[in-house]
A and B are shown apart, each in its own frame.
Chain A
Amino acid sequence: MKKSQLFFLSFLTIVLMALPFLGSEYSVDWMTKTLIYGIFALSLELLVGTTGLVCFGQAAFFGIGAYAVVKISADLITPDAIYLLPISMILAGVFALFVGALSLRTKGVYFIMVTLAFAQMAYYVIHDTPIGGGTDGIYLYNKPSLFGWSISSSVEFYLFTLGCLLFVFILLGLITHSRFGRALTGIRINELRMRAIGYQTYNYKLMAFVISGMIAGLAGYLFAVKDGFVNPELLSWHLSGAVLIMIILGGLGHLRGAFIGAFAFALLEEFFRSEAIFGSFAKYWHLGLGLSIIFCVAFLPRGLFGIPSIWQSKLMGTKNASVEDQE
């Protein structure tokens, strides 16, 4: 692993582990939510940033992971994370396998639309049929535990989530650097060329899709357990759009970017919603968010992560032609 990535990870870990001792309960709760967004964003980064597959239906896998835990734990006496978590991930992965196998037959904008449509299918199944419990959503009554130890307090759950984030980060770091990940990068840059060289690109893309779906399912699991409540909006295309914004905001092509983007997005949301700053105008917070998104995509095409290199090239007066930081 590169020095800069190691530094980032260590810094992150130390700061985040210190939070429970320094921050209020509200901030721990907020940070937990942000970490979950981070995992969600990382799942999409593998698809969009590494493989170049713009999926507009990531929320479906997130939502399935969330609903899975609620539906299954109702039948278990002591629902332990050790089996609930993998089950949520596997269920999300199965749906991803189904969606991916069909969607990957299309390309470009058709792919974007097909993934959106499949997510909508899942949304309507949850929203309209008895499976989903309707628009009101379902409550989770069991307290989470890991290997029998309770992880239900804010701090305990926060640390568990942090652990999951670090796990995902390291796992994706390994994957993107591996032969598999390098091949995905090649597919992103020029799929035709990869096929000519001898790669069965469909299989690679499908694998990436399933892994990505499983990680989104993990994020969904954490979200459901954290709040003890799920509703169909977890599968809405608004959420799919939001997670796309997170990774663009942070900067495509970098795992760190995904986390930074999730964090920045959560901050933006807090900022525009804050009545302390905007008074009664705060209820129109979508306006500020929308303008920020437009601004960011228009002027920061490489996201927040790209800001240092923009400064660098402006200072040096050179064109930004460095070898792309292959993460």
Chain B
Amino acid sequence: MDFSTFLIQTLNSVQYGLLLFLVAAGLTLIFGIMGVINLAHGSFYMMGSYLAFALSPVVASTLGGGLITTLIIGLIIAIILGYILEWMFYSYLYERDHLQQVLMTYGLILVIEEIRSLLVGDDVHGVPIPDWLSSSIKLSDVMTYPVYRLFISGVCILLALGMFLVLSKTKLGMMIRAGSVNREMIQSLGVNIKFLYRIVFAAGIAIAALAGMVAAPVSSVYPGMGQGVLIICFVIVVIGGIGSIKGALIASLFIGFIDTFGKVLLPEVAGVLVYVFMAAILLWKPSGLFKAGS
């Protein structure tokens, strides 16, 4: 493999890993703080992509705006949706055992998939890359790399930084981190748990949806996209350690590399590699790499 191919694959790995991180971060927080296994999390990623697909023509014609406007509007919609879903559905899951959560969120996946099917059908769609991001930069004489993919990584890094800042520097972040380690403790400290949960939930879903929105132009928009991301994100959360953002980031990057390079070097076993990796990590550390709250 020559250097520029290696560089391209590395950039792809990082981009894929960061995208996965956005989805996995929400998942690990929801799990760590509320103790809820959310099988439907992948569906929110899918919803983001479909939102991008549905909104971009509307935004273009009525507001004259481009991608950024679409992202902002989509984010707002996703936050509202997340808030409503938490209130209507997820808040009932907190006291239930894991099996019930798994099944109820599995039912939710089915419902969301069919509603999507009803509203927008089952076709594969594309979302156009805006002009100002559609060029490529030169890496060598023959190889170029699409700017849009760098943009995706950029957005993810921004969001990740934002997350780290909120979690480590703000009071809200401190409550969230404390809550992921010991739920009862923060309750006794007088924190309004319901409200905290709702925020964490809406944020987790919104970030996953944003990841879907940003990824739509390169991965295209199709019915099964949520499932693939979901399973991988569960693997990431388990490897990284439930409730650990740092763990989710490191695991996401690892998986990004394994999956990307795997597909290039060993295409037949690429699908299996990720799971082999997970099995190996869990045998070494049965509770994942990092503890909750880190």
User: In whole angstroms, how far apart are the Cα atoms of A297 and B114 in the complex?
Assistant: 20
| A110 contacts B282, C-beta separation under 8 Å | yes
Q: Which of A27-60 contact B (CB under 8 A)?
A: 48, 54, 56
Of A17-25, A75-83, A121-129, A316-324, the one contacting chain B is: A121-129
Q: Which of A230-288 contact B (CB under 8 A)?
A: 237, 241, 244-245, 248, 284, 286-287
| Given known A-B contacts A284-B117, A290-B111, A294-B107, A118 and B231 have beta carbons under 8 A apart | no
B228 to chain A, nearest CB (A): 10
Q: Which of A97-117 contact B (CB under 8 A)?
A: 102, 105-110, 112-114, 116-117
Q: Which residues of A contact B231 (CB under 8 A)?
A: 116-117, 120, 237
User: In whole angstroms, how far apart are the Cα atoms of A129 and B273 in the complex?
Assistant: 13
> Is B99 in contact with chain A by the CB < 8 A criterion?
yes
**25 A-B contacts (beta carbon < 8 Å):** A106-B287, A109-B31, A109-B242, A112-B98, A113-B235, A113-B237, A117-B238, A118-B275, A121-B275, A124-B271, A125-B272, A128-B269, A129-B268, A248-B99, A287-B111, A287-B114, A289-B107, A289-B110, A290-B110, A290-B111, A291-B111, A292-B107, A293-B107, A294-B104, A297-B100
Q: In the complex, which of the residues A106, A112, A116, A293 contacts B282, with contact meaning CB atoms closer than 8 Å?
A: A106
Q: Which residues of B contact A124 (CB under 8 A)?
A: 271-272, 275
| Given known A-B contacts A102-B283, A109-B242, A284-B114, A54 and B102 have beta carbons under 8 A apart | yes
> Is B163 in contact with chain A by the CB < 8 A criterion?
no
Q: Which residues of A contact B270 (CB under 8 A)?
A: 128
Q: Majority SS of interface residues in chain B?
A: helix
> Is A186 in contact with chain B by the CB < 8 A criterion?
no
User: In whole angstroms, how far apart are the Cα atoms of A284 and B235 in the complex?
Assistant: 30
Number of residues of chain B lying within 8 A (CB) of chain A? 40
Q: In the complex, which of the residues A112, A117, A125, A245 contacts B106, with contact meaning CB atoms closer than 8 Å?
A: A245
A239 to chain B, nearest CB (A): 12
Chain B interfacial positions (CB closer than 8 Å to A): 31, 37, 92, 98-100, 102-104, 106-111, 113-115, 117-118, 231, 234-235, 237-238, 242, 268-272, 275-276, 278-279, 282-283, 286-288
In chain B, what residue has the closest Cβ to A281?
B118
User: In whole angstroms, how far apart are the Cα atoms of A113 and B286 in the complex?
Assistant: 12
A283 to chain B, nearest CB (A): 8
| B283 contacts A117, C-beta separation under 8 Å | no
| A284 contacts B275, C-beta separation under 8 Å | no
| B238 contacts A110, C-beta separation under 8 Å | yes
Interface contacts beyond A116-B231, A287-B115: sample of 18 additional A-B pairs, CB < 8 Å, sorted by A: A54-B99, A56-B102, A108-B98, A117-B231, A117-B238, A117-B278, A121-B276, A124-B272, A127-B271, A245-B106, A248-B103, A286-B113, A286-B114, A287-B118, A290-B107, A290-B111, A297-B100, A301-B100
| B286 contacts A110, C-beta separation under 8 Å | yes
| A294 contacts B282, C-beta separation under 8 Å | no
| A117 contacts B279, C-beta separation under 8 Å | yes
Q: Which residues of A contact B268 (CB under 8 A)?
A: 128-129
Q: Which residues of A contact B107 (CB under 8 A)?
A: 289-294, 297
> Is A196 in contact with chain B by the CB < 8 A criterion?
no
User: In whole angstroms, how far apart are the Cα atoms of A102 and B141 in the complex?
Assistant: 49
| B275 contacts A293, C-beta separation under 8 Å | no
Interface residues on A, range: 35 or more
User: In whole angstroms, how far apart are the Cα atoms of A248 and B107 in the complex?
Assistant: 13
| A129 contacts B279, C-beta separation under 8 Å | no
In chain A, what residue has the closest Cβ to B235?
A117
Q: Which residues of A contact B109 (CB under 8 A)?
A: 290
A295-317: CB near B (< 8 Å → 1, else 0) gives: 00110010000000000000000
Q: Which of A217-236 contact B (CB under 8 A)?
A: none
A61 to chain B, nearest CB (A): 16
| A294 contacts B98, C-beta separation under 8 Å | no
| B286 contacts A298, C-beta separation under 8 Å | no
Q: Which of A54-93 contact B (CB under 8 A)?
A: 54, 56
| A286 contacts B282, C-beta separation under 8 Å | no
A54 to chain B, nearest CB (A): 5
A230 to chain B, nearest CB (A): 19
User: In whole angstroms, how far apart are the Cα atoms of A89 and B132 in the complex?
Assistant: 59
Q: In the complex, which of the residues B37, B108, B278, B287 contacts A294, with contact meaning CB atoms closer than 8 Å?
A: B108
| B106 contacts A118, C-beta separation under 8 Å | no
User: In whole angstroms, how far apart are the Cα atoms of A121 and B269 in the complex?
Assistant: 10
| B275 contacts A117, C-beta separation under 8 Å | yes
A322 to chain B, nearest CB (A): 21
Q: Which residues of A contact B100 (CB under 8 A)?
A: 248, 297, 301
| Given known A-B contacts A54-B98, A116-B234, A293 and B110 have beta carbons under 8 A apart | yes
